[in-house]
């Protein structure tokens, strides 16, 4: 069964609860946030996503720490598209 875990389930507050079971309770969200933060710090530390020889101009590269003009513009474009999509979704619900 995927989705919210029963209240007494020991998987609450774990990345397993968040990722594999789809639980979005506060403890599971926090476990996922911390895990993702640690991942990003590890990857940024290697330089493999922001150094020489990588493809720039993506929102993902910006998210991972690159601040070159190409990655910054890609992130801004994605942000504008996301906001436009959300406005359209809200309008269609009215």
Tens-place pLDDT, residues 6-38: 889 999 999 999 999 999 999 999 999 999 999
- Helix-then-strand count for the chain, H and E: 4, 0
**10 and 42 together in one domain:** yes
Q: Is residue 2 domain-shared with residue 41, that is, in the same domain?
A: yes
Taking the model in full, what pTM does it have? 0.59
Instruction: Enumerate residues 6+ apart whose C-beta is below 8 A from 56.
Output: 66, 68, 70, 71
pLDDT digits (tens, 9 = 90+) for 22-79: 999 999 999 999 999 998 888 878 877 666 778 889 998 888 888 899 999 999 999 9
Strands (DSSP E) along 1-94, which ranges?
Answer: none
Does one domain contain both 32 and 60? no
pLDDT at 46: 80
Domain range for 42 is 1-46
Number of structural domains in the chain = 2
User: Which letter does DSSP use for residue 47 in this model?
Assistant: T
Task: Determine contact, residues 26/13, Cβ cutoff 8 Å.
Answer: no
DSSP state of 27: H
Phi, psi of 52 (to 5 degrees): -65, 150
In this model, does residue 94 exceed pLDDT 60? yes
């Amino acid at each position: 069964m995927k989705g919210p875990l029963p209240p007494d389930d020991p998987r609450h507050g774990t990345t397993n609860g968040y990722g594999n079971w789809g639980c979005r309770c506060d403890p599971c969200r926090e476990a996922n946030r911390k895990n993702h933060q640690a991942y990003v710090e590890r990857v940024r530390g290697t330089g493999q996503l922001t150094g020489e020889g990588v493809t720039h101009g993506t929102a993902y590269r910006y998210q991972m720490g690159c601040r070159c003009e190409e990655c910054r513009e890609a992130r801004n474009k994605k942000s504008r598209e996301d906001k436009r999509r959300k406005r359209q979704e809200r309008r269609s619900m009215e």
